[in-house]
Amino acid sequence: MSNLKLDKALKEKLQNNKKLIVPYIMAGDRPLGQLEEQLNFLQNSGAAAVELGIPFSDPVADGPTIQDAGQRSLEQGTTLSSVLTKLKSFKEERTIPVILMTYLNPVFTYGAGNFARDCADAGVNGVIIPDLPLEEEAIVKDDLQENAISYIRLAAMTSPDERLQKIAERTEGFLYAVAVTGTTGARTTHDSNVKNYLQKLKNYTDKPVLAGFGVSTSSQAHELAEACDGVVIGSTIVNFLHEGKTENVQQLLEESV
Q: What's the alpha-carbon Rg for the chain, to the nearest Å?
A: 17
Mean pLDDT of 44-66: 86
Distance CA 128, CA 159 (A): 18
Report pLDDT digits (tens) over 12-41. 889 887 899 999 999 999 999 999 999 999
Annotated catalytic residue: which of 29, 36, 58, 62? 62
Which pLDDT belongs to residue 181? 62
Domains within the chain, CATH numbers bracketed: 3-256 (3.20.20.70)
Residue 130 CA to residue 150 CA, distance in Å, equals 14
Answer yes or no: are the C-beta atoms of 138 and 171 closer than 8 Å. Answer: no
Q: Please, how many CA atoms are within 13 Å of residue 85, restricted to the half-sphere of its CB? A: 8
Q: What is the pLDDT of residues 202-250, one digit of tens each?
A: 999 999 999 998 788 888 888 899 999 999 998 899 989 989 999 999 9
pLDDT above 70 coverage of the chain, percent: 93
Residue from 36, 37, 51, 131 carrying the catalytic annotation: 51
229 part of the active site? no
Sheet holding 50-53, edge to edge: 150-151, 126-128, 98-101, 50-53, 20-26, 230-233, 209-212, 175-178, 154-155
Per-residue pLDDT, 57: 82
Q: Tens digits of per-residue pLDDT, 80-132?
A: 999 999 999 999 999 999 999 999 999 999 999 999 999 999 999 999 999 99
- Does the active-site annotation cover 191? no
